[in-house]
């Protein structure tokens, strides 16, 4: 079996003073192969974004810190690298598209300068070659007349165009892994579809692996081959898109799938999972989904279930469905 491009093993993240720390990500493990697209899904507060920031070691310290685990990229543990080595990785080998482009782009720098800055840090190009590459990546993301837009500022673009600029900046150095944190959340449906098609074409052209973070399973199904489901800082289910969508084994995943609107749905109201995601660190034992679960039994409140295997490519942390499978 080939070594995965990225392998996250038992990573936990805490915030606050060590004597009274709140664990927001708890023993998370998953991997991504070269050129593979993996979706990380869950409601707001599930720990998805913190997990992605951990990969690039962007957790603000203080108040946060990665307290355990390893994050191996091409066999090298990023958590053991000196801090001054991480800027070499960020942007060149692993790039990130943040959720809100207007707060991620520098408002007083032109978009041309912002993309060129990434190239200046990571590519040995002269000035002319650098600007040619900026025009090339803006063209790649579908920017109309890219050469004429180099001197424009972020506020002169629509939300969809700003997101394209963010993607252009992320892919300028042909990264091996692209992390996209809710890249379509603030966009209308038409622009969402364009951004997803853009990410597909970039992946096809340079074989970039993608970690797509979203609460929208429809978006995940459109782009990814594999899904990792998070709830309250833990991974509760993982499998291929086909197995997760056809036969979800965790009650939380089933609830997420039931809440997707369908054209043939005759329900008067959309399905919603009862209750809310528990506050980070508030569940001290048992399954974190216990209070909202229709299948719960007494054992669920006392012990956190292990990841039961339902097939070679599908596992879930549920006592009820897992023990029924044994």
Better pLDDT: 168 or 271: 168
Which region among 71-75, 80-84, 212-216, 262-266 has the lowest average model confidence (pLDDT)? 262-266
SS (H, E, C) 198-253: HHHHHHHHHCCEEEEEECCHHHHHHHCCEEEEEECCEEEEEEEHHHHHHCCCCHHH
Local confidence band at 134 (pLDDT 50, 70, 90 cut-offs): very high
Q: What is the pLDDT of residue 242?
A: 94
Parallel, antiparallel, or unpaired: how do β-strands 64-73 and 6-15 relate? antiparallel
Its sign, for the CA torsion 301, 302, 304, 306, is negative
Token pair of 128, please?
A: 């002319």
For 85-130, the pLDDT digits (tens) are 998 899 889 999 887 767 788 999 999 999 999 889 888 889 999 9
What are the CA-CA distances from residue 49 to residues 22, 30, 97, 270, 310 (Å)? 16, 15, 11, 26, 27
Q: What is the pLDDT of residue 118?
A: 86
What is the average pLDDT across 224-245? 95
Q: Is residue 142 scored above 60 in pLDDT?
A: yes
Q: Are 159 and 101 contacting, i.e. CB atoms less than 8 angstroms apart?
A: yes
Q: What angle do CA 52, 56, 58 make, to 5 degrees?
A: 85
| Selection from 299, 293, 302 nearest residue 319 by Cα | 299
Q: What is the pLDDT of residue 186?
A: 65
What is the average pLDDT across 235-256? 94
**In this structure, what DSSP letter does residue 6 have?**
E
Token pair of 38, please?
A: 């993996």
Q: Are 202 and 142 contacting, i.e. CB atoms less than 8 angstroms apart?
A: no
What is the average pLDDT across 27-37? 94
pTM: 0.90
Mean of pLDDT over the chain: 89
Q: Is residue 244 scored above 80 in pLDDT?
A: yes
Element holding 74 (H helix, E strand): none
Q: What is the pLDDT of residue 70?
A: 96
Whole-angstrom Cα distance, residue 147 to residue 297? 62
What is the average pLDDT across 200-216? 88
Q: Is residue 1 scored above 60 in pLDDT?
A: no
For 61-79, the pLDDT digits (tens) are 889 999 999 999 999 999 9
Its sign, for the CA torsion 147, 110, 107, 116, is positive
Q: What is the pLDDT of residue 324?
A: 77
Q: Are 162 and 105 contacting, i.e. CB atoms less than 8 angstroms apart?
A: yes
Q: What is the pLDDT of residue 269?
A: 75
What is the average pLDDT across 218-237? 93
Q: Is residue 231 scored above 90 in pLDDT?
A: yes
Local confidence band at 215 (pLDDT 50, 70, 90 cut-offs): confident
Q: Is residue 289 scored above 90 in pLDDT?
A: yes
| Selection from 172, 217, 167 nearest residue 197 by Cα | 167
Better pLDDT: 195 or 59: 59
Better pLDDT: 95 or 262: 95
What is the average pLDDT across 219-241? 94
């Amino acid at each position: 079996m080939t070594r995965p491009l990225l392998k996250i093993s038992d990573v936990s993240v805490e915030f606050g003073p060590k004597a009274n720390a709140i664990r927001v990500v708890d023993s998370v493990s998953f991997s991504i192969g070269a050129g593979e697209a993996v979706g990380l899904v869950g409601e707001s507060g599930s720990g998805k974004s913190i997990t992605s920031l951990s990969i690039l070691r962007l957790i603000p310290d203080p108040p946060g810190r990665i307290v355990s685990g390893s994050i191996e990229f091409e066999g090298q543990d990023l958590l053991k690298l000196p801090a001054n080595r991480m800027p070499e990785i960020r942007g060149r080998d692993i790039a990130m598209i943040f959720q809100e482009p207007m707060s991620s782009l520098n408002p007083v720098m032109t978009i041309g300068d912002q993309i060129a800055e990434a190239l200046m840090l990571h590519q040995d190009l002269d000035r002319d070659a650098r600007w040619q590459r900026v025009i090339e990546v803006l063209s790649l993301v579908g920017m109309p007349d890219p050469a004429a837009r180099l001197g424009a500022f972020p506020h002169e673009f629509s939300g969809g165009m700003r997101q394209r600029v963010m993607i252009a900046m992320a892919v300028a150095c042909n990264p091996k892994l692209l992390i996209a944190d809710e890249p379509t959340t603030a966009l209308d449906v038409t622009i969402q579809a364009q951004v997803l098609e853009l990410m597909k074409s970039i992946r096809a052209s340079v074989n970039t692996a993608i970690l797509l973070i979203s609460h929208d399973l429809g978006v995940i199904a459109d782009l990814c081959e594999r899904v990792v489901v998070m709830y309250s800082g833990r991974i509760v289910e993982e499998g291929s898109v086909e197995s997760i969508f056809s036969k979800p084994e965790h009650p939380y995943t089933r609830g997420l799938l039931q809440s997707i609107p369908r054209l043939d749905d005759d329900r008067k109201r959309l399905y919603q999972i009862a209750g809310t995601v528990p506050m980070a660190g508030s569940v001290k034992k048992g399954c974190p989904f216990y209070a909202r679960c229709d299948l719960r039994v007494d054992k669920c409140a006392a012990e956190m279930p292990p990841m039961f295997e339902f097939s070679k490519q599908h596992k879930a942390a549920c006592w009820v469905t897992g023990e029924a499978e044994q």
